[in-house]
Amino acid sequence: MGVFRKTRIGFAAAALACVGLVGISSPAEAIVLPKSRSVTVYGPDQVVTCKLTVNGWNATYQRLNVNLAASSKPRSFSGYFNNKVTYVGCYAIGLNNPDSFAAGEAQANGPTASFNKRHFVEYASAFQVCAYGATIKSNGTTTQTPFGCNPA
């Protein structure tokens, strides 16, 4: 073996040792990301949609990086004039890990309400997403959507 080849082998071994120090995971430690989930619930005066988007895995903190977003809008055109206060709530819970939980809510004076929140949650292989909403109309009556979840 020539000096050049020995140097290349030594360099490759040093590079592999450095990779081990950086902490790149082996394929056996690969994380399978759960699917993003959403649910839409219809009430008499509003439509509520909630979506959980799984963005990735944070190896430093051993947490999933997820985004939870929900919105509520009137069910009909007249709701844009009649719905005076709107509320939307949403949560996502891990089916095999109830400690993996993300939630959010928003209330607005007007016909629409929404939020968009980032969470770092414990790992779960699948999530159930649930949503609910309510609105106060200009005549003072309150209507609610049923509490709805996507199929588990």
What is the tens place of the pLDDT at every residue in 61-80? Answer: 889 999 999 999 999 999 99
**Which CATH number applies to 31-149: 2.60.40, 1.10.150, 1.10.3470, 3.40.50?**
2.60.40
- pLDDT (mean) for 99-111: 95
Asked if the model's pLDDT at residue 20 lies above 50, the reply is no
pLDDT band per the 50, 70, 90 thresholds, residue 85 = very high
Q: What is the mean pLDDT of residues 1-13?
A: 41
pLDDT at 17: 39
The phi and psi torsions of 7 (rounded to 5 degrees) equal -65, -40
Work out the angle at residue 73's Cα, subtended by the Cα atoms of residues 75 and 137, and round it to the nearest 5 degrees.
Answer: 75
Question: What are the backbone angles phi and psi of residue 39, rounded to the nearest 5°?
Answer: -145, 145
Alpha-carbon distance values, 42 to 34, 46, 47 (Å): 26, 6, 5
CA distance 120 to 54: 10
Helices (H) and strands (E) in the chain — how many of each? 2, 9
Mean of pLDDT values over 29-34: 79
